[in-house]
């Protein structure tokens, strides 16, 4: 099975989009630290809970809690997304992939061999310095054609 990627023609307004919810399981301290320290040349969109650090950061836009349709509109005008620590196939991640974004995910989460893609980029939620350097390098890099191939006949089996 190949995940059909939508053709994206719109100019990308944001370099990276984050989904932020106040919950200790989601690795928020790590996400917030990344958001605070991503260089100002990169534009950041935040969906979900408001993050109160943006007054001096013109490169960060807080959208707050949105409907899924409105969130997808923000995702469409972004280049990358970063998932939370505990779930690399959340609706946010799947919406990001279907809109052609490259998605940073927690490398400690299992990615089965049936998934072949260059759209999922692993980062280490336990090593901030390494992850920040990798993230900055990926944001600045020109990327090859994206692909996402999934070999299982029944996607439900993958989620068991």
Q: From the DSSP assignment, how many helices (H) and strands (E) are in the chain?
A: 5, 8
Per the model's pLDDT, the better-predicted residue between 139 and 57 turns out to be 139
Q: What was the pLDDT predicted at 3?
A: 59
Q: What is the pLDDT of residues 27-38, one digit of tens each?
A: 688 888 898 888
Of 5-14, 30-39, 71-80, 145-154, least confident by mean pLDDT is: 145-154
Minimum mean pLDDT range among 42-56, 77-91, 93-107: 42-56
Q: What's residue 13's pLDDT? A: 94
63: pLDDT strictly greater than 80: yes
CATH number of 14-155: 3.40.50.2000
CA separation for the pair 124, 104 (Å, rounded): 10
- What's the pLDDT at 160? 56
Q: Is the dihedral of CA 69, 70, 74, 77 positive or negative?
A: positive
pLDDT in tens, 128-159: 999 999 999 999 988 777 767 766 555 565 55
Number of alpha carbons in the 13 Å side-chain half-sphere of residue 11: 1
CA dihedral 6, 12, 16, 20 (to 10 degrees): -80
Residue-level pLDDT at 141? 87
Question: Mean pLDDT, the chain, as a whole number?
Answer: 83
Helix H or strand E segment including 44: strand 44-48
């Amino acid at each position: 099975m190949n995940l059909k990627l939508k053709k994206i023609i719109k100019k990308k307004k944001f370099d990276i989009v984050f989904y932020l919810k106040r919950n200790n399981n989601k690795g928020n301290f790590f996400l917030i630290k990344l958001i605070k320290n991503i260089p100002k040349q990169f534009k950041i969109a935040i969906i979900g809970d408001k993050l109160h650090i943006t007054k001096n950061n013109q490169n960060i836009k807080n959208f707050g809690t949105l409907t899924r349709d409105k969130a997808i509109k923000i995702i469409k005008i972004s280049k990358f997304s970063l998932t939370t620590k505990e779930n690399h196939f959340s609706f946010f991640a799947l919406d990001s992939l279907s809109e052609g974004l490259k998605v940073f995910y927690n490398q400690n989460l299992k990615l089965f061999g049936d998934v072949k893609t260059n759209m999922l980029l692993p980062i280490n939620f336990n090593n901030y310095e390494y992850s920040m350097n990798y993230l900055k390098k990926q944001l600045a890099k020109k990327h090859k054609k994206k692909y996402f191939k999934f070999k299982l006949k029944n996607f439900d089996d993958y989620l068991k």
